[in-house]
Amino acid sequence: MSVVVRKPSGELLLYTKGADMMIYQRLKDDPAMMKLKNITRDHMEKYADDGLRTLALAMKKLDERWFQQWKMRFDDAQGNVAEIDRRKDGKPNAIDDLMEEIEEGLELIGATAIEDKLQDGVPQCLANLTRAGIKVWMLTGDKEETAINISYACSLLDNTIQQVIVNATTCPDEAAIRAKLNAAAREFMDNAKGMAGGAEKEISLVIDGEALEMALQPGTAPHLLSFAKLCRAVICNRVSPAQKAEMVKLVRDNIKTVRTLAIGDGANDVAMIQAAHVGVGISGQEGMQAVNSSDYAIAQFRFLERLLLVHGRWNYIRISKLVLYMFYKNITLVLAQYWYGYLSGASGSKMYWEIGVQLYNIAFTGLPIVVVGVLDKDLPAPFSLEYPDLYRRGPERFFFNMYTFGRWIAAAFYESLIIFIVMSYGFNASEKAAGSESRVEFGMVAFSLTVLIVNIKIWMIADRWTVLSFSLWFGSVMSWFAFAALGTETPYFATFKVGYDEFGAFAPTAKTWGYFLVLIMGCSLALGRHIAYNLYQRTFHPDLAQLLQESMGGASQRKYQRRLTINNMEEQTLSMSLDDVHTTGYLSDFGHSDAEILKAQHPQSFTATGTLYEQPKKSVTSTTGASVPHSTTSVSSGVTDSYSASVFSESISEDATWERVPTKMLRATQGRRNTGFAFSCDEETTLAESYIASNSLPRSDAISTAMRNSTSSTGGGASARRVSMGRVRLLS
């Protein structure tokens, strides 16, 4: 960015700030300035290593006559609509050429280094987005060292991820970039094939603006995209706003199965935000340009987690249900009329009452699905945040795909056929026996059955019912019967709105035993298949969302609850045999991939031997001192980032109120953020169930409290209590 200022003396000066790479290219070739350039570059590299954001500063004296001539040309270019459009499209244009012209021959002034602290919750937000299956790429104008440090700070990178660094120094041309990317991809694939259980090491790409400019050329872009798809993260540093937009377009235009989201807070992010499928602007210190150009605006980066994992997931499920149901209910109505054509000899006569058909989508079936499409929630918001894996159903297109669409169409086909068969062999036969069969009566009953079936269907697919949704559902069903009774029995409607065929047809029909028998039989046969399938699927093949729904059940459901297990995650059990407790305090931590016994800071200690049961079995032994209680404990962890801790002390939670909880609800708390439950049992008690303290604290508070209490205890003995963060079961 450059500004032109005039001093009180009348002298014109141009001041410029920007990335060191861009500023150094515009400096005049002066040997006397070489020392300053080297010193400034060393300083900026040191600042970048410390995680600071650096900018170089330069200036230039301007000749008055030359500047006036340049300004006239610049004003003409800015007023030229064609040049403006070319600049917006990223094509060569006179505006950029004139800016390049005035920014040549600069003198270096120095550099700035600014600490730009991460907002609260950014690391946790990115970690959960990654767990949800979202690939996170960082596009920044910072130096390479700064970008890498920020990536570590926000958990985008860690020491287990291999970094493939591509810059203008290591890869000076397109051929070198292609060779490095292809070699890294082959190495990664070979390692992946050689690793058992899919435990291949993750990789990331770090590329700077100069290398990216070459990598985005038509001959190299496919290689860049292929390698980027293998990466856990992509970090583009020293990139311009146009390059940010080009990276988004590269993914958007070439991978049709994904959706892109760009988030930023400054004017440099506007092009990227507008290029993505979804743009999110953050309001902050850098102005409102990003917010004004975005689809969604948030105040802090961490709110992106809730926007996607909660509201994004809810709305995907809602819209899927809305679209599928709209097709289903209309196909059901139309196909029943189609089957009637076989009964009427393909005469073209209508089975339904015409006004009923006109109001079918508005009054009789429209409002309940609108409520589902706006307010339906399969799980409360905390569950979506605590189990990011729930979000994966969206990118996998689980709720709306050709298979799901085909199932709904097949259901409409089947249920319309049931309506026709029940009407033909149930109601029609009974009416023939009574000598009162007619097309109008047949159509009235068929339409009643259709309205009932499609409305009960929405009751079955909705996950959340409120007073509003139930009222609208009940009102939609009853509105048909009220309208049918009013419309066919009132002379006014018969004369002007209905016609004489339907006049007086509904009341006599509704009084027959066959009418109610057909409604009951038709609904049972049509929807029994759906109920049976749901029961089978939830009983034998439940997904994570259904298990979490079940964990929210009341006391009457607890005996039917199963243990909550998360797919693709191992469960490990650590069994420890301990002899006498004479310690004043002890803290142990059991992780997912190993069992580590940590010694707390207190004067006494003890010896513990544990065996970790997994595939294959292996033993873990840790000796930290002397003394032992005589009991066996089992601590189970089923989530990768779960935290289980055991504290041995005489004075922990003395005033706690303990209540018994089902195993499943207990398992559901593992691995959840900001959730700490203290479990307690007497040393001599044998428990098959678990107990939970009603005055439980957040995990960090509970652990610190337990540590504080344990270190303040004096002496010990057989009466020591055990308090654990996690599932604890005393075996003997």
Rounded to two decimals, the pTM is: 0.69
Location of structure tokens 């299956």:
133
Set out the domains of the chain in order of their start, with CATH numbers.
2-114 (no CATH), 122-307 (3.40.50.1000), 318-548 (no CATH), 572-730 (no CATH)
Q: Is residue 53 part of an annotated ligand binding site? A: yes
Q: Is residue 238 part of an annotated ligand binding site? A: yes
pLDDT of residue 644: 33
Helix (H) or strand (E) run with residue 633 in it:
strand 631-637
Q: What percent of the chain has pLDDT over 70?
A: 71
Q: Whole-angstrom Cα distance, residue 621 to residue 614?
A: 15
With bands split at pLDDT 50, 70 and 90, how would you rate the model's confidence at 701?
Answer: very low
Q: Whole-angstrom Cα distance, residue 395 to residue 296?
A: 20
- pLDDT beyond 60 at 433: no
Beta sheet of 162-166, edge-to-edge order: 136-139, 233-237, 203-208, 162-166
Q: Whole-angstrom Cα distance, residue 396 to residue 364?
A: 34
Instruction: Confirm if 267 and 290 have CB atoms less than 8 A apart.
Output: yes
With bands split at pLDDT 50, 70 and 90, how would you rate the model's confidence at 511?
Answer: confident
Q: Whole-angstrom Cα distance, residue 683 to residue 681?
A: 6
Instruction: Mention every residue, 6+ apart, whose C-beta is less than 8 A from residue 157.
Output: 148, 151, 163, 204, 233, 235
Mean of per-residue pLDDT scores for the chain? 75
Q: Is residue 269 part of an annotated ligand binding site? A: yes
Q: Parallel, antiparallel, or unpaired for β 607-613 and 618-623?
A: antiparallel
- pLDDT beyond 50 at 672: no
3-class secondary-structure state, position 582: coil
Question: Cα Rg for the chain, rounded, in angstroms?
Answer: 35
Show the 3-state SS of 471-516. HHHHHHHHHHHHHHHHHHHCHHHHHHHHCCCCCCCHHHHHCCHHHH
Q: Is residue 41 part of an annotated ligand binding site? A: no
Closest CA to 486 of 510, 522, 470: 510
With bands split at pLDDT 50, 70 and 90, how would you rate the model's confidence at 267?
Answer: confident
pLDDT tens digits, 158-189: 888 999 999 988 899 999 999 999 999 999 98
- pLDDT beyond 70 at 84: yes
Instruction: Confirm if 33 and 21 have CB atoms less than 8 A apart.
Output: no
pLDDT tens digits, 285-326: 777 889 999 999 999 999 999 999 999 999 999 999 999 999
pLDDT tens digits, 116-166: 788 889 999 999 999 999 999 999 988 898 899 999 989 899 888 999 999
Q: Is residue 585 part of an annotated ligand binding site? A: no
145-159, 237-251, 437-451: least confidently modelled range: 437-451
Show the 3-state SS of 157-221. CCCCCEEEEECCCCCCCHHHHHHHHHHHHHHHHHHHHHCHHHCCCCEEEEEEHHHHHHHCCCCCH
Phi, psi for residue 238 in degrees, rounded to 5: 55, 45
Q: Which of 76-90, 344-358, 574-588 has the highest mean pLDDT?
A: 76-90
Which carries the bigger pLDDT value, residue 193 or residue 404? 404
Q: Whole-angstrom Cα distance, residue 72 to residue 62?
A: 15
Q: Is residue 511 part of an annotated ligand binding site? A: no
Query: Per the structure block, which two tokens stand in for 243?
Result: 């390059």
Beta sheet of 644-649, edge-to-edge order: 595-596, 586-590, 644-649, 721-725, 678-681
Stretch 627-654: mean pLDDT: 32
Instruction: Confirm if 681 and 722 have CB atoms less than 8 A apart.
Output: yes
- Residue 284: strand pairing partners: 287
pLDDT of residue 196: 55
Q: Is residue 265 part of an annotated ligand binding site? A: yes
Q: Is residue 201 part of an annotated ligand binding site? A: no
Q: Is residue 579 part of an annotated ligand binding site? A: no
pLDDT of residue 620: 30
**Burial category of 454 from C-beta neighbours within 10 Å (exposed 0-12, middle 13-18, buried 19 and up):** buried
238-252, 327-341, 421-435, 618-632: least confidently modelled range: 618-632
Q: How many CA atoms lie within 13 A of 696 on its CB side?
A: 21
Query: Per the structure block, which two tokens stand in for 596?
Result: 């580590």
Stretch 556-578: mean pLDDT: 34
Q: Is residue 432 part of an annotated ligand binding site? A: no
